[in-house]
Structure 1
Amino acid sequence: MNDPAQRAALEARNATLRTQVDSMLANLERQTAALREAQAEAVAKTGSATSPDGLVHVVVNAAGIVTDVRFAPNAFERNTPEKLAQSVVRVIQEAAVDARGQAEAAMAPFQQDVPDLPDLFPGAPSLKDLLPTPAAPPLTPPKKPDDDEPRDSMMERNDW
């Protein structure tokens, strides 16, 4: 390769490739930083829910772990322990769904148009098929209080 014209053409192509690789690396660094920010935002999300009667309020973190439970001052006067427990479970589930929705919304821009292995390597197994997607927790409606059912206070009941 003693021909100066060929050498100059090769150096020009190499420079172009270097510029493209540098641009791709810079873009990757920007995307990685944005992904880290979105992950931190998703992890910081909390969900909350309040029972329809306003007696129970729950806050959960992005993992669905309860971080706060508050009862209205008259919560124990207006419910049996069973009914209050059902209400607590329902509100926790609603708060967890809220937190998960917020976390998924923070990550949504990074989950769109992401290539899967078969897109890159024909015949490769799909990662989407290998990784289970978390299902929403079942929302179990609390039993409706019967008007004829006596309303025992928590102090009168000790069968738990």
Structure 2
Amino acid sequence: MTDSAHFTARAAELRASAEDVLTRVTRQAQALDAVKSRSGTVQGSATSPDGQVHAVVDSTGMLVGLTVAGRPDLGPLIVDTVRTAAGRARGEVRALYQGLVTDGLIKKVPEHVPDAPPQLATPPTPPPVRPRRVADEPEDEQPAGFQRDAW
């Protein structure tokens, strides 16, 4: 085989190998994109053994729904409170990484650092708190030295 034929054959082998690699990489990228897209819509849910509480979380574990039997007002209030707390924690973590970006130690905030969760469209109104009356307190929970009859 002449040098020219050898180079032509080798070039054909390299071209075929490169096409195989490109095909595999393209398939992997498409599969990864599909999984990323679907994983963002995954939700998990669970109900307590007694059926009193039902919770729903998104793909990151963020609480997105909560139902408490007999208290329809309580679930949305808890969800909003948890989302607010998570947003604050996530904001602090993002700020720590942003400081590294500002100092030139890293180029960007890593993708795994989540953004703050979006706030609910209409924050729930907390239920009114009914103060306990003295008559509601059991006798054995009275402070030491307290005598109700002394009034």
What is the TM-score with the length of structure 1 in the denominator?
Answer: 0.43
Larger Rg, first or second structure (1 or 2): 2
What is the TM-score with the length of structure 2 in the denominator?
Answer: 0.46
